[in-house]
Chains A and B, each alone.
Chain A
Amino acid sequence: MNTKSRIMVAVAALMLILTFFFPLWTIDLNAPQYPEGLGIRIWLDQISGMKPNDLQSINGLNHYIGMKVIDPESIPELKIMPYIIVFMIVFGLLNAYMKNRKLIYIWLILFIILGVIGMYDFYMWEYDYGHQLNPDAPIKVPGMTYQPPLIGSKQLLNISAVSLPSTAAIVIFISMFLNIAALYVDTKSKKHEN
């Protein structure tokens, strides 16, 4: 493998450090009486409000319709995800050192599988929150469930929920793309040598 590709693989691994400092996903809740906005930020290791007390406000709203309280402590994925990213960083740096194309393929496939599992898991959490409603909820709308969208927007009673990947997710995409690009650059340079 040529030096250029190795640098690309190393950069792709190192840039994953950024995912610890930016949210992965955002869910914004838009309603007329919240002109200042209301939203959730999902990080590798935590769930926070867009503003300091948004999570409390959202839990306050959710209790009317009987949704469970969003408690980051009760979500095991938030404890696992940081380790997965650390593993991918180490694996990526090792790839830059080992110069083995096969291992880069494995890194990529593994990351894609993890991503798909992550999205499925996220969907299941959303499904669970949206459907497992307290039968004693003050407000019950027949046939209504409150699952937020995975990506895109959805009207839930008076609230329009918009769910979108955020900075950390984009960093992961770029990291993957850099690995693909590294493989491509490597192939091209070999052709030149031939």
Chain B
Amino acid sequence: MKNISRKTLLSAFGILFLIALTYAGCNQSKTSLSGNEAEQVYVAPGTYDEFYLFTSGGFSGQMGVYGLPSGRHFKTISVFAQNPETGYGYSEETKAMLNTTYGFIPWDDSHHPEFSMTDGVPDGRFIFINGNNTPRVAKIDLKEFETTEIIEIPNSAGNHASPFVTENTEYIIASTRFSIPIPQSDVSISSYKENFKGTISFIKLDPKTEKMNLEFQIIVPGFNYDLAHAGKGPSHDWAFFTSYNSEQANSLLEINASKNDKDFVAAVNWKKAEQYLKEGKAKTYDAEYYRNYVDHKTQIAVSEKNNQVKVLDPKDCPGMMYYLPTPKSPHGVDVDPTGEYIVAGGKLASVIPVHSFTKMMKAIEEKQFDGEIAGIPILKYDAVVAGEVKDPGLGPLHTEFDDNGYAYTSAFISSEIVKWKIGTWEVVDRIPTYYSIGHLCIPGGDSKKPYGKYVIALNKITKDRYLPTGPELTQSAQLIDITGEKMKLLLDFPTVGEPHYAQAIPSDLIMKNSVKFYKIEENGNPYAVKGEKDSRVERKGNEVHIYMSAMRSHFSPDNIEGVKVGDVVYFHVTNLEQDWDVPHGFAIKGMNNSELLIMPGATRTIKWEPKKVGVYPFYCSDFCSALHQEMQGYVRVSPSNSNVPLAFSLGN
């Protein structure tokens, strides 16, 4: 009796256990966490994250800054979009950053953050990011987390394969996704094959002045150039670009650009290009473009217009450029840490082709060509391919590398990350992502020395992952542990804008250089006041310049009279604080502009054109002190024909 009941009990438990397993299996996306994941992402209050993560802001035009492994959001850096929170793009000191040959543009679409590198390793000095819509490349200074330079790229449209830097940040490279008539002209769209071209741009970073200069462009056949990566180590002199639409379709690309079995990876020898440039092989094209930069001394953004660019044509430059046939509409192109393997993510392909740099060099030497396009030799596929990763998931896009000889490829359609071994091309692990992963990021994962540890999935769709917020849902990233044999999902965290690509770097490379405040004695803004006693109001015709200081917890002056309707008033506000984390804000009623947010020791100017008679209060908009609510003042605005004398005071 006893025995029977024990058996019955055991089998009953067995069945329950099976049901539980099945249930757990069904809900894997929600309940697969078990063990110490929480501990792995827990950064105790008051302690720091191990890595900074910089994500592209996508169609917000900005850049997000996060901590890893916590996923905490620290800051949004203003890049291509005006930001009323800080006054970026509104203040007189920052407006010029958004100047282009199309006028002032308050928005762009930013996709790919890329660190400056020394010896093929991120050095923590700068991070670059592209403006996709109106082709531009921005440089962000990581001492300040501020955009300090934006260069416009002429002869380009859809600046997508951008920015990617060479091993020692000799060049920042960028190329066109949309081919266009070069130079621009009024032609029929159906004359695409005849008139449309692409360009690959090489922006030089001056090692001393750290200024960007568009050194030269290469004019290329009118395909869509999608992504890029510079070589490293043995492939130091080369840069690689994917292209699709080798069909050169100009309408319904989803069908018409997906016909060819193979498109191309373009390999460009930039050292050779430099040499041809020196030899005078370049033609000078008339091309207007802006370079906007923050002047070191005044901290004011200045626009500089350029009118010409040097253009190399591969026809005149043998040995500078080759096409590597690559199946099928390749998207990402990634170079492994050794610089030997070039991995292309053929987004419609059933395998991931991996090209060998050694084989490529040999094929070039032996002239193993399969025809040419516009003077660019096409290498034979079999002569350059090192191997193919079979069963890599559907829609493979991008690949990053760890420090143990493995590659991780994102697969958009099958929504997963696939881990495979370099050399054997064998898939060893896969993990689902939620949902529809685009890029992925491993700290240092596109450099010579990956830090490994985590892979971050950058997802396009979140659906049921978070509390719903109406039709628009958050974008998101997922943190995955890659230290073990099996990848392990640790954390979901929402991101600002669309996180196309992201890069991560150890915190200590950046935090030690972070500026705490600007020294007031080094403030070179011509409208700065170095102390309260210098604060004043001056009239120049109908312009009124208010040289104002801000100090806890008052503005000087705080009572201003004699401003008239029709005047153009400039508030030049200097924050006199010399203490960490004490910005002041400035806002005045009815201002058709954003607030100012002024860092300690800095000066910012906002323009105000009062239209109605009255007394207008202004105040500090960033809570600064126990007496923040007292930090206010008034401007009296009189009729345009009044005789109220200009007067200003503090503490009368």
Chain A residues with a Cβ under 8 A of chain B: 36, 52-53, 56-57, 60, 64, 138-139
Q: A57–B578 contact, CB under 8 A?
A: yes
A64 to B580, CA, bound (A): 19
> What residues of chain B lie closer than 8 Å to A64, measured between beta carbons?
625-627
**In the complex, what's the smallest C-beta–C-beta distance from A10 to chain B, in angstroms?**
43
A52 to B519, CA, bound (A): 10
Interface of B is mostly: loop
Q: A53–B578 contact, CB under 8 A?
A: yes
Q: B580–A36 contact, CB under 8 A?
A: yes
**In the complex, what's the smallest C-beta–C-beta distance from A43 to chain B, in angstroms?**
20
> What residues of chain A lie closer than 8 Å to B577, measured between beta carbons?
60
* Besides A52-B578, A57-B578, 8 new A-B residue pairs in contact (Cβ under 8 A), listed by A number: A53-B579, A56-B578, A60-B552, A64-B626, A64-B627, A138-B626, A138-B630, A139-B626
- Residues of B589-640 contacting chain A, CB below 8 A: 625-627, 630
> What residues of chain A lie closer than 8 Å to B630, measured between beta carbons?
138
**Subset of 10 A-B contacts with CB under 8 Å:** A53-B579, A57-B579, A60-B551, A60-B552, A60-B579, A64-B625, A64-B627, A138-B627, A138-B630, A139-B626
A72 to B350, CA, bound (A): 77
**In the complex, what's the smallest C-beta–C-beta distance from A117 to chain B, in angstroms?**
35
**In the complex, what's the smallest C-beta–C-beta distance from B575 to chain A, in angstroms?**
13
Chain B residues with a Cβ closer than 8 Å to the other chain, count: 11
Closest 10 CB pairs of A and B: A53-B578, A57-B579, A56-B578, A138-B627, A60-B552, A53-B579, A64-B626, A36-B580, A64-B627, A139-B626
**In the complex, what's the smallest C-beta–C-beta distance from A97 to chain B, in angstroms?**
47
**In the complex, what's the smallest C-beta–C-beta distance from A34 to chain B, in angstroms?**
9
**In the complex, what's the smallest C-beta–C-beta distance from B630 to chain A, in angstroms?**
8
A64 to B627, CA, bound (A): 9
Chain B residues with a Cβ under 8 A of chain A: 517, 551-552, 577-580, 625-627, 630
A53 to B551, CA, bound (A): 14
A56 to B531, CA, bound (A): 12
**In the complex, what's the smallest C-beta–C-beta distance from B618 to chain A, in angstroms?**
20
**In the complex, what's the smallest C-beta–C-beta distance from B622 to chain A, in angstroms?**
15
> What residues of chain A lie closer than 8 Å to B578, measured between beta carbons?
52-53, 56-57
A56 to B519, CA, bound (A): 13
Please name the residue on chain A nearest to B626 by beta carbon: A64
> What residues of chain A lie closer than 8 Å to B552, measured between beta carbons?
60
> What residues of chain B lie closer than 8 Å to A60, measured between beta carbons?
551-552, 577, 579
> What residues of chain A lie closer than 8 Å to B551, measured between beta carbons?
60
> What residues of chain A lie closer than 8 Å to B626, measured between beta carbons?
64, 138-139
**In the complex, what's the smallest C-beta–C-beta distance from A190 to chain B, in angstroms?**
60
A56 to B580, CA, bound (A): 12
A138 to B627, CA, bound (A): 8
A138 to B630, CA, bound (A): 10
Please name the residue on chain B nearest to A33 by beta carbon: B581
A182 to B332, CA, bound (A): 81
> What residues of chain B lie closer than 8 Å to A36, measured between beta carbons?
580
> What residues of chain A lie closer than 8 Å to B625, measured between beta carbons?
64
> What residues of chain B lie closer than 8 Å to A52, measured between beta carbons?
578
**In the complex, what's the smallest C-beta–C-beta distance from B519 to chain A, in angstroms?**
8
**In the complex, what's the smallest C-beta–C-beta distance from A79 to chain B, in angstroms?**
25
A36 to B578, CA, bound (A): 14
A57 to B625, CA, bound (A): 12
Please name the residue on chain B nearest to A56 by beta carbon: B578
A60 to B575, CA, bound (A): 14
> What residues of chain B lie closer than 8 Å to A56, measured between beta carbons?
578-579
Q: In this complex, which of A36, A53, A64 has the most chain B Cβ atoms within 10 angstroms of its Cβ? A: A53
A3 to B626, CA, bound (A): 64
A36 to B552, CA, bound (A): 20
> What residues of chain B lie closer than 8 Å to A139, measured between beta carbons?
626
A53 to B519, CA, bound (A): 10
